[in-house]
Structure 1
Amino acid sequence: MSEPLIVITGASSGIGAATARLLSGHGHPLLLLARRLARLEELGLPQTLCRKVDVTDREALAAAVREAEEQYGPADALVNNAGAMLLSRIADQDPDEWDRMIDLNIKGVLYGIHAVLPGMLARRAGTIVNVSSIAGRKTFPNHAAYVGTKFAVHALSENLREEVASSGVRVVTIAPGAVETELLSHTTDERIKSDYDAWKQSAGGALDPQVVAEAIAYAYRQPPGVTVREIVLAATGQES
């Protein structure tokens, strides 16, 4: 019996790409979504539909899911990984950066859920994995707006879990600490970026995205009657 379809957003690099490679290796057909189509195609994974989709575009996201389900069958899991981390002090930050994080980190997560959840409820099976952050549990300097979006992901995930638990749908929150990804590169304040890098090195380095991918796969591959509600992981040397 072939494995079911899994949808991964933000799959062009970092955690998303690592998760795609891992789950493809487990035999799953995939729908990979990101704004950089060439990076998705470079992964070269079998049984994989790659689409250039910004998850803030609700209609495009839903259309891509429908297309993948027509080709590979119902989506059994969604890995809501797309996100942005734009660090700054609130007084100094361009409010457009707040809008980008709110649209991507919160609304994009909700749009992904909305695209797959009705089918999961009808089948009484499915797993939604929301990739949040340890910044969804505690605060960090220069992270105020970002932290706000990730606290929202934690809250909406828990509330969603309560809504769907009796219908056989699982909701998992993955909350990593610092990870070696491209997230920091979009921060415009060079001093904040250098301070963050120094902090990361003081902790002995950040997590490899593969480690986070393995946590996602672990939660997903539990028996249907078991929900790993949340996994919090960080480099051992990361104190905060």
Structure 2
Amino acid sequence: MSKPLIVITGASSGIGAATARLLSAHGHPLLLLARRLDRLTALGLPETLCRQADVTDPAAVAEAVREAEALHGPVDAIVNNAGVMLLGKLADQPAAEWERMFEVNVTGLLGAIRAVLPGMVERGRGTIVNLGSVAGRKTFPDHTAYVGTKFAVHAMSENLREELAPHGVRVVTIAPGAVDTELLSHTSSESIKAGYREFTKASGMLAPESVAEAILYAYQQPQGVNIREIVLAATGQQP
């Protein structure tokens, strides 16, 4: 029996790529979305449609979903992994960096959900996995705008979960601590990046594959079981 279609945003590297490899290994056809199409195709996964799409372009995301569903049937889950982390002190950080984080991490996430949600509600099943963060539960130095986006993800996810519970659709928040991905490279301040590296050197970091395993665990529960939130971090990470 064939497995259902799963959509992953931000699938070109890090958690997104690790999740794609894991779900593909479990037999799921996939729709992978990212800005770097070459990185998606390089994964070389079977039954996988790769499309270049920025989550801030909801029309492109919706079109890719329609194309994938025509090939593999209805979307059963979406993993909203696309995100940007631009750390900085509020007094110094360019406003364009705040705007980019909210466009991708908040508005883009909502648009991606909307591309699959009507079908899930109609079918009375589906799973929405949103990548939050430990920074969606507590604050950190130089993270003011970023934690704003992640607190928003956590709040929106919980509100949406309540909204969709009567329709049989699950909403899961995955909240990792520091993960060994490219996310830090987006930050422009070299001093802030150096401080973050010192923090992770002392405390350790999660492998992207560990987060992917948490996503798979939540998804593989019976549809009547909603693992609402998973918070995970390296054992040595204190905050």
TM-score (norm 2): 1.00
Question: What is the identity, as a one-letter code, of the residue corresponding to 2:25?
Answer: G
Correspondences of 1:183-202 after superposition (within 5 Å): 183-202=183-202
Q: Does 1:232 align with 2:236?
A: no
Deviations 1:114-173 (A, max 9, x none): 000000000000000001110000000000000000000000000000000011000000
Aligned residues: 239
- Counterpart for residue 149 of structure 1: 149
Q: CA deviation at 1:177?
A: 0.1
- Counterpart for residue 19 of structure 1: 19
> Which runs of no fewer than 5 residues in structure 1 stay unpaired?
none
Task: State how far apart, in whole Å, the 1-side matches of 2:186 and 2:170 are.
Answer: 32
Q: Percent identity?
A: 70
Deviations 1:9-63 (A, max 9, x none): 0000000000000000000000000000000000000000000000000100100
> Which runs of no fewer than 5 residues in structure 2 stay unpaired?
none
- Counterpart for residue 139 of structure 2: 139
- Counterpart for residue 77 of structure 1: 77
Task: State how far apart, in whole Å, the 2-side matches of 1:66 and 1:107 are.
Answer: 20
Deviations 1:55-93 (A, max 9, x none): 000100100001000110000000000000000010000
Task: State how far apart, in whole Å, the 1-side matches of 2:81 and 2:178 are.
Answer: 15
Task: State how far apart, in whole Å, the 2-side matches of 1:108 and 1:207 are.
Answer: 25
- Partner-residue secondary structure (3-state), 1:18: helix
Q: Does 1:216 align with 2:215?
A: yes
TM-score (norm 1): 0.99
Task: State how far apart, in whole Å, the 2-side matches of 1:166 and 1:202 are.
Answer: 45
Task: State how far apart, in whole Å, the 2-side matches of 1:87 and 1:213 are.
Answer: 24
- Partner-residue secondary structure (3-state), 1:201: helix
- Counterpart for residue 59 of structure 1: 59
Question: What is the identity, as a one-letter code, of the residue corresponding to 1:70?
Answer: A
Task: State how far apart, in whole Å, the 2-side matches of 1:214 and 1:239 are.
Answer: 22
Task: State how far apart, in whole Å, the 1-side matches of 2:18 and 2:202 are.
Answer: 25
Task: State how far apart, in whole Å, the 1-side matches of 2:83 and 2:132 are.
Answer: 9
- Partner-residue secondary structure (3-state), 1:184: helix
Question: What is the identity, as a one-letter code, of the residue corresponding to 2:3?
Answer: E
List structure 1 runs of 4+ shifted beyond 6 angstroms: none
- Counterpart for residue 37 of structure 1: 37
